[in-house]
Amino acid sequence: MKLELSLLLLCVLLCAGLASAQREKETGGANNGKETLLELLPSLRQQDAIAREWAREREHTILPALMRLHGVDAWVLSMREYNEDPAFWPLVSRTTTFAARRRTLKAFAFNKTSGNSEDAFVSRTFVDNTPQVWADFNSFLTQFDPSVLTINIDASGNNFADGLHAGEHELLVSQLPWLYWLRLRRVPILATQFIATRPDSMLPYFKKLMRVAHAIIREGFSTDVIIPGVTTTEDLSWFFRDRIQSLNLTTWFHPSVDIQRYDKAANTTRTLSGIIEVGDFIWTDFGVTFMGMNTDTQHVGYVLREHEADVPLGFKLGLTEHSNVIQDILLKEINLNRTGNEVLKITLDEMARRNISGTVYCHPIGDYGHSAGSLIGMTNLQDGVPVLGDLPIFPNMWYSIELQANVPIPEWGGGIVNFRQEEDVYIDSHGVARWVNGRQSKIHLIGNVDRVSGDSIPDLFDDAAFVNFEKKKMDKKVQMEKMIIQD
């Protein structure tokens, strides 16, 4: 009996292994019969050193400037473990800090008696689970005697300025001397702009991370991964997740993949999930996370039919004359003298003037995927976004330029196809918006002219590797659609 059970178990394992291998082959899995190159990222120790420097710059350079700008003498973050204020995370290295400890107070103030400008700004961290933490904090207040003590409460709808939890607020107020209780103020823009503002030293790493995100999409949108008639949209979503993990990256949302398909017999265009077929227009919403930075990208591709060497002209024009144009309008109209709602109205008016149909829903990105700052529309709020849309656009922040254009495609019987695009930009100190790593200006082709089989994504932090990667493809004279990099 034991022998029979052992043989049965062996048979089950062999069958499971064969089935897994067949699925891997049919769906174009992460390995697909080839070695998957693990990217050479900075060691965790190196990541921690970099992240600590970013946190130091934000705490000792960016924060004091913003407190002066908004008339704040002192600011306190009070929280308990796993109930962190959103403004806590920019102040620490996420490589080694996983939560606040016990009760944590981070307090910031100006020393009015200091004659040295370098010593004028002071910060303290108090960690304890006894009443001593309040005695220490009150001593801090007595020493620096702020006229305005800011706490993070905002009931208007700005979640990044509302990080002081109700119970923590009650206890904080009960422990304050009455003099400082009277000086409490809510200044929501301080926490919002602090989280939104990116140190200049982050940008080179963000650019390289964005290049990797684009490269993963190119890899997924290829016959290395997609076998028409076999591979499903869910297969592709999980390929992206597995590829992220294989590179020691993570993500802040599960990748989305869908297809638009033309039914010639019924003369209808549908958006659906399921098996990817030739002639499908494919879309993904994809992002990666690394060292506290997040990306957000939406690209489109076309699965070539056997007789096709290129995407139909209507799709090319849909991208370049519609969704790319909306991107151009947005980048031109984003500036520091406007709110998100103002940019939205100007953009929609210009789209109407040019007879472009679509919607705009851009959001800040950075420490969080949907980060702090002004929203430029939402999918269901094209007349303006209350509260968050009325915030000003800040210098030195990052945005995801997200939108869709609705375009009739002659080759699909005039049916409407949605061109959904999303690319990240950085806004410099003068308010000029620039692409982090260009934008998609050509449609990814899945078929006989897609990316070179076997080319691996180059090292995330090796510029020369990226140059060689592109040169290798050019030397082979591969007929493939390459994204035009604009900056």
pTM: predicted TM-score of the whole model, two decimal places? 0.84
Report all structural domains of the chain as residue ranges with CATH numbers, in order of start: 44-196 (no CATH), 200-475 (3.90.230.10)
Residue 464: which pLDDT band, with cuts at 50, 70 and 90?
Answer: low
Between 424 and 459, residue with greater pLDDT: 424
Residue 28: which pLDDT band, with cuts at 50, 70 and 90?
Answer: very low
**Which of 105-114, 313-322, 330-339 bottoms out in mean pLDDT, i.e. has the lowest?**
105-114
How many residues does the structure list for the chain? 487
DSSP codes of every residue in 238-270: HHHHHHHHHTT-B-SS--EEEEEEEETTTTEEE
List pLDDT tens digits, range 114-131.
655 666 999 999 999 999
**Residues β-bridged to residue 262:** 269
Contact 102, 80 (CB under 8 A): yes
Q: How far is Cα 2 from Cα 317, in angstroms, rounded to an integer?
A: 68
List pLDDT tens digits, range 369-411.
999 999 999 999 999 999 999 999 999 999 999 999 999 999 9
Tokens of 69: 């700008």
> From residue 485, how far is each of 75, 278, 438, 440, 441 by CA, in Å?
42, 28, 4, 8, 8
Is the pLDDT at 206 greater than 50? The verdict is yes
Question: So what's the pLDDT on residue 468?
Answer: 55
Q: How far is Cα 467 from Cα 458, in angstroms, rounded to an integer?
A: 9
Contact 103, 85 (CB under 8 A): no
Question: So what's the pLDDT on residue 487?
Answer: 35
Burial class (CB in 10 A: 0-12, 13-18, 19+), 178: exposed
- Whose tokens are 């897994």? That residue is 20
Closest CA relative to residue 65, chosen from 383, 429, 443, 486: 429
Is the pLDDT at 97 greater than 60? The verdict is yes
Contacts of 287 (CB under 8 A, 6+ apart): 213, 251, 252, 253, 255, 294, 295, 296, 297, 369
Question: So what's the pLDDT on residue 119?
Answer: 66
| Helix 203-220 and helix 233-246, axial crossing angle in degrees, nearest 10 | 140
Is the pLDDT at 19 greater than 80? The verdict is no
**Residues β-bridged to residue 446:** 303
Q: How many CB atoms lie within 10 A of CB 7?
A: 10
Average pLDDT over residues 27-45: 49
Percent of the chain with pLDDT over 90: 79
E strands, 152-288, in order: 184-186, 256-263, 268-272, 281-286
**Backbone torsions φ then ψ of 243, nearest 5 degrees:** -65, -40
CA angle 123, 51, 107 (to 5 degrees): 15
List pLDDT tens digits, range 145-168.
999 999 999 999 899 999 999 999
Question: So what's the pLDDT on residue 34?
Answer: 34
Helix (H) or strand (E) holding 297: strand 297-303
List pLDDT tens digits, range 468-482.
544 554 443 333 333
How many angstroms from the chain centroid is the CA of residue 279?
A: 30
Q: How far is Cα 213 from Cα 222, in angstroms, rounded to an integer?
A: 15
Q: How far is Cα 128 from Cα 137, in angstroms, rounded to an integer?
A: 11
Contacts of 68 (CB under 8 A, 6+ apart): none
